[in-house]
């Protein structure tokens, strides 16, 4: 994963780099580092852990004279999160930062070791530095091109060459990289959010591009040849970065759900024809990672049950390597908040190569997936900063529900469309009512916070919601949690149910009500402490029960999942966890 940022201009480079790193911290926070260069010197400073630790280390250094530099925040892939493995890496005259994975690093490293090169770290990145240093000649572009022909894998590279104090170089394949164009200053970064406080002009690099960045110009090369690139002007609301008085971004973002639902749904509800029509397809493959995949599972159920279309939902890391069987009318739907998840991008590229139509549900408009998919339906989450997704997940579910509703209507499987549309209009208000019941969620958090194992059970849609509730709880509170289809629990896992083990039971499916109740009773008979999340008409009147409004199957997940998000949040807070930046995670998983 990792995030990289670089600056050439008149400003104090360290300020630009640190603010850039803070905005890239969502990509990993195992270690960070900066490299600064001027005519006489190079300074490289690194630190383990979050950017805050690097800042502390910089306090007693005067780095104001440096106007050129590059920086890195790391999510460890090759080698533990240690100082020696932190970027930037230096070999000979080369200083380098890298986001991605060099797949043939091991064999290249062995060759270089045989040639007498000494390595300090366990990283694949140092191998790239060694290769550039080995091939270094006056024509740096030629040198980098030669290295790009030698390495395999994914990379966004930021390169500084000792002795060249007015230029930085970057190269890209598969990992995102954007150039920021300023007045007497230029930038590069993994994401525009690292530099969009300085410029609104960006050039998105394509695979195999190299750029040579100096204060007054940027030269672009593709496969070694000089090329022109399109400059995009993108204005972004910079206010979204504040916590708005909330103690954590996660809580702020959950509280934004009513507003972003309104913003996302309104245009579609006002003009139903603007929702893509999927009647031409006879099969849908939904592909995504993490919570986005669980949003897809709700979609899969809706497409099959309501719109009577064969649907699958799979994790992108599996889908990209499978022999996927297509009809000649298959639609591949990719779901991604960031639009930069490596496996989802690879699945999209594969589907396109095989001639399939692709539709992406994406939040970040400038992202790779948004640019590559045939059709895009945007969600309007704004910036989501907490690593665990909340508002973006809710919007992904809302949009896929609308797609299923429209398909069901077009196929004449539902006739009372106005009733459904009216119900969709009430979603922001209903979600707000759910979010406002904070004390109920705090109470449940207190009930489960001292447990080390928790289970979630449900059937069909309820099971899909369980998956998200369980993921949310484990990722922020570190309580081990598993979600099971209610009927499956007894095939093994029920042996783990002991007295007092919390089992969340989601109960919103009228058709399967009796079956689900039997499963709830089964775990209670073995001593489980059940926590029921039901809808009003299925209310059980249990001590630990949260009831949401009775709405259709298209809408119910949008009321249930905020309950689960808030329980996960308060449990994590009670356990003293770093809610917004859970250990080992990154918001955008840009390596496979």
Cα 275–chain centre separation: 24
How many CA atoms, within 13 angstroms, populate the side-chain half-sphere of residue 469? 30
Q: Which stretch binds ligand G6P (CB under 6 A): 165-173, 387-395, 459-467, 547-555?
A: 387-395
Task: Indicate left, alpha or beta for 355 from its phi (over 0: left) and psi (-120 to 50: alpha).
Answer: left
CA distance 493 to 529: 16
Q: Which is nearer to ligand G6P, 125 or 344 (CB)?
A: 344
Q: Is 587 noted as a catalytic residue in this protein? A: yes
Q: How far apart are CB 125 and ligand G6P at their closest, in Å? A: 22
Q: Should residue 141 be labelled a site residue for ligand G6P when binding is judged by CB under 6 A? A: no
Nearest to 548 by CA among 439, 437, 471, 455: 437
Joined tokens for residue 101: 């994975």
Q: Should residue 590 be labelled a site residue for ligand G6P when binding is judged by CB under 6 A? A: no
Nearest to 191 by CA among 361, 362, 339: 339
Q: How far apart are CB 292 and ligand G6P at their closest, in Å? A: 4
Q: Which is nearer to ligand G6P, 24 or 292 (CB)?
A: 292
Joined tokens for residue 207: 């695979």
Q: Which is nearer to ligand G6P, 338 or 508 (CB)?
A: 338
Q: Which residue has the tokens 């459904």?
A: 420
Q: How far apart are CB 494 and ligand G6P at their closest, in Å? A: 29
Joined tokens for residue 130: 């060694």
CA distance 584 to 163: 37
Q: In what order do the strands lie in the sheet with 310-315?
A: 310-315, 283-288, 330-336, 357-362, 375-378
Q: Should residue 264 be labelled a site residue for ligand G6P when binding is judged by CB under 6 A? A: no
Q: Looking at 2, 505, 547, 577, which residue is catalytic? A: 2
CA distance to 344, 396, 487, 565, per residue, from 291 (Å): 13, 9, 23, 12
Q: How far apart are CB 507 and ligand G6P at their closest, in Å? A: 25
Site size for ligand G6P (CB under 6 A): 16
Q: Should residue 474 be labelled a site residue for ligand G6P when binding is judged by CB under 6 A? A: no
Joined tokens for residue 110: 């062995």
Q: Should residue 123 be labelled a site residue for ligand G6P when binding is judged by CB under 6 A? A: no
Q: Is 2 noted as a catalytic residue in this protein? A: yes
Joined tokens for residue 435: 């979010």
Residue 16, classed as helix, strand or coil, is: helix
Q: Should residue 203 be labelled a site residue for ligand G6P when binding is judged by CB under 6 A? A: no
Strand 357-362 and strand 42-48: the pairing is: unpaired
Q: How far apart are CB 191 and ligand G6P at their closest, in Å? A: 12
Question: Alpha-carbon torsion 510, 511, 515, 519, what sign?
Answer: negative
- Residue 81, phi then psi, degrees to nearest 5: -80, 85
Is there a contact between 213 and 168 (Cβ–Cβ < 8 Å)? yes
Q: Which stretch binds ligand G6P (CB under 6 A): 70-78, 102-110, 385-393, 528-536?
A: 385-393
Q: Which stretch binds ligand G6P (CB under 6 A): 317-325, 336-344, 530-538, 545-553?
A: 336-344
Nearest to 402 by CA among 435, 433, 359, 370: 359
Q: Which is nearer to ligand G6P, 194 or 489 (CB)?
A: 194
Question: Which secondary-structure segment (H or E) carries 455?
Answer: strand 453-458
- Residue 214, phi then psi, degrees to nearest 5: -125, 180
Q: Should residue 18 be labelled a site residue for ligand G6P when binding is judged by CB under 6 A? A: no
Q: Should residue 588 be labelled a site residue for ligand G6P when binding is judged by CB under 6 A? A: yes
Binding mask 546-585 for ligand G6P (x = CB under 6 A): ---------------------------------------x
Q: Should residue 479 be labelled a site residue for ligand G6P when binding is judged by CB under 6 A? A: no
CA distance 153 to 351: 20
Q: Should residue 470 be labelled a site residue for ligand G6P when binding is judged by CB under 6 A? A: no
Q: Should residue 361 be labelled a site residue for ligand G6P when binding is judged by CB under 6 A? A: no
CA distance to 107, 118, 154, per residue, from 110 (Å): 5, 11, 20
Q: How far apart are CB 581 and ligand G6P at their closest, in Å? A: 11
Joined tokens for residue 437: 């019941």
Nearest to 158 by CA among 57, 50, 34: 34
Q: Should residue 347 be labelled a site residue for ligand G6P when binding is judged by CB under 6 A? A: no
Q: How far apart are CB 317 and ligand G6P at their closest, in Å? A: 11
How many Cβ atoms are within 10 Å of 274's Cβ, its own excluded?
Answer: 11
Q: How far apart are CB 106 and ligand G6P at their closest, in Å? A: 27
Q: Which residue in the set 175, 196, 312, 389 belongs to the binding site for ligand G6P (CB under 6 A)?
A: 389
Q: Which of residues 274-313 bind ligand G6P (CB under 6 A)?
A: 289-292
- Residue 384, phi then psi, degrees to nearest 5: -110, 120
Residue 181 DSSP code: E
Q: Should residue 587 be labelled a site residue for ligand G6P when binding is judged by CB under 6 A? A: yes
Q: How far apart are CB 400 and ligand G6P at their closest, in Å? A: 13
Q: Which residue in the set 73, 264, 344, 366 belongs to the binding site for ligand G6P (CB under 6 A)?
A: 344
Joined tokens for residue 187: 């930038």
Q: Which residue in the set 388, 427, 445, 563 belongs to the binding site for ligand G6P (CB under 6 A)?
A: 388
Longest Cα pair distance anywhere in the chain, in angstroms?
A: 77
Q: Which residue in the set 35, 177, 387, 555 belongs to the binding site for ligand G6P (CB under 6 A)?
A: 387
Q: Which is nearer to ligand G6P, 377 or 544 (CB)?
A: 377
Q: Looking at 50, 172, 300, 587, which residue is catalytic? A: 587
Q: Should residue 589 be labelled a site residue for ligand G6P when binding is judged by CB under 6 A? A: yes
Q: Should residue 58 be labelled a site residue for ligand G6P when binding is judged by CB under 6 A? A: no
CA distance 503 to 457: 7
Nearest to 333 by CA among 296, 306, 366, 386: 296
Q: Which residue in the set 125, 341, 401, 477 belongs to the binding site for ligand G6P (CB under 6 A)?
A: 341
- Residue facing ligand G6P at closest CB distance: 290
Is there a contact between 553 and 302 (Cβ–Cβ < 8 Å)? yes
Q: Should residue 317 be labelled a site residue for ligand G6P when binding is judged by CB under 6 A? A: no
Q: How far apart are CB 23 and ligand G6P at their closest, in Å? A: 16
Q: How far apart are CB 296 and ligand G6P at their closest, in Å? A: 10
Q: Should residue 190 be labelled a site residue for ligand G6P when binding is judged by CB under 6 A? A: no
Q: Should residue 390 be labelled a site residue for ligand G6P when binding is judged by CB under 6 A? A: no
Among all residues, which ones are annotated catalytic?
Answer: 2, 587
Contact residues toward ligand G6P (CB under 6 A) are: 289-292, 336-338, 341, 344, 387-389, 585, 587-589
């Amino acid at each position: 994963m990792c995030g990289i940022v670089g600056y050439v201009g008149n400003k104090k480079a360290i300020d630009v780099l640190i603010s850039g790193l803070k905005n890239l911290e969502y990509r990993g926070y195992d270690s960070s580092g900066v490299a600064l260069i001027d005519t006489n010197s190079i300074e490289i400073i690194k630190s383990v852990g979050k950017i805050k630790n690097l800042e502390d280390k910089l306090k007693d250094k005067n780095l104001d004279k440096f106007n050129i530099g590059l920086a890195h925040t790391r999510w460890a892939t090759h080698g533990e999160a240690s100082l020696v493995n932190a970027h930037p890496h230096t070999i000979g005259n080369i200083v380098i930062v890298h986001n991605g994975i060099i797949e043939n690093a091991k064999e290249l490293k062995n060759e270089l070791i045989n040639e007498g090169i000494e390595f300090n770290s366990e990283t694949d990145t140092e191998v790239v530095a060694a290769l550039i240093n080995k091939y270094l000649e006056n024509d740096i572009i030629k040198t980098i091109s030669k290295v790009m022909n030698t390495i395999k894998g994914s990379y966004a590279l930021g390169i500084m060459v000792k002795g060249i104090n007015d230029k930085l170089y970057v190269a890209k394949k598969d990992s995102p990289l954007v150039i920021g164009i300023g007045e007497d200053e230029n930038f590069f970064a993994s994401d525009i959010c690292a530099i969009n406080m300085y410029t609104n002009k960006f050039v998105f690099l394509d695979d195999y591009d190299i750029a040579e960045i100096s204060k007054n110009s940027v030269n672009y090369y593709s496969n070694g040849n000089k090329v022109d690139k399109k400059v995009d002007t993108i204005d972004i609301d910079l206010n979204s970065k504040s916590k708005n008085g909330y103690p954590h971004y996660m809580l702020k973002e959950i509280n934004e759900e009513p507003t972003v639902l309104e913003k996302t749904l309104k245009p579609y509800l006002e003009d139903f024809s603007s929702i893509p029509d999927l009647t031409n397809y006879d099969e849908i493959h939904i592909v995504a990672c993490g919570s986005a995949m669980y949003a897809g599972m709700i979609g899969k159920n809706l497409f099959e049950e309501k719109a009577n279309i064969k649907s699958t939902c799979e994790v992108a890391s599996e889908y990209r390597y499978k022999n996927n069987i297509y009809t000649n009318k298959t639609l591949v739907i990719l779901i991604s908040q960031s639009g930069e998840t490596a496996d989802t991008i690879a699945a999209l590229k594969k589907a396109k190569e095989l001639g399939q139509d692709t539709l992406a549900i994406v939040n970040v408009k400038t992202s790779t997936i948004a640019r590559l998919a045939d059709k895009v339906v945007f969600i309007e989450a704004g910036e989501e900063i907490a690593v665990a997704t909340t508002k973006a997940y809710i919007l992904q579910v809302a949009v896929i529900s609308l797609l299923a509703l429209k398909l069901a209507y077009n196929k004449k499987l539902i006739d009372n469309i106005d009733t459904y549309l009216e119900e969709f209009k009430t979603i922001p208000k209903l979600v707000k009512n759910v979010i406002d019941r904070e004390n109920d969620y705090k109470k449940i958090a207190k009930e489960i916070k001292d447990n080390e194992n928790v289970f979630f059970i449900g059937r069909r849609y309820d099971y899909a919601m369980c998956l998200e509730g369980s993921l949310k709880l484990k990722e922020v509170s570190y309580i081990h949690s598993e979600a099971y289809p209610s009927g499956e629990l007894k095939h093994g896992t029920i042996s783990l149910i002991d007295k007092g083990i919390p089992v969340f039971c989601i109960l919103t499916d009228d058709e399967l009500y009796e079956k689900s109740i039997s499963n709830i009773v089964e775990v209670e008979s073995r001593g489980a402490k059940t926590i029921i999340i039901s809808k009003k008409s299925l209310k059980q009147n249990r001590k630990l029960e949260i009831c949401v409004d009775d709405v259709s199957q298209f809408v119910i997940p949008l009321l249930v999942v905020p309950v689960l998000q808030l329980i996960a949040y308060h449990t994590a807070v009670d356990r003293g966890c770093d809610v917004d930046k859970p250990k080992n995670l990154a918001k955008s998983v840009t390596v496979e």
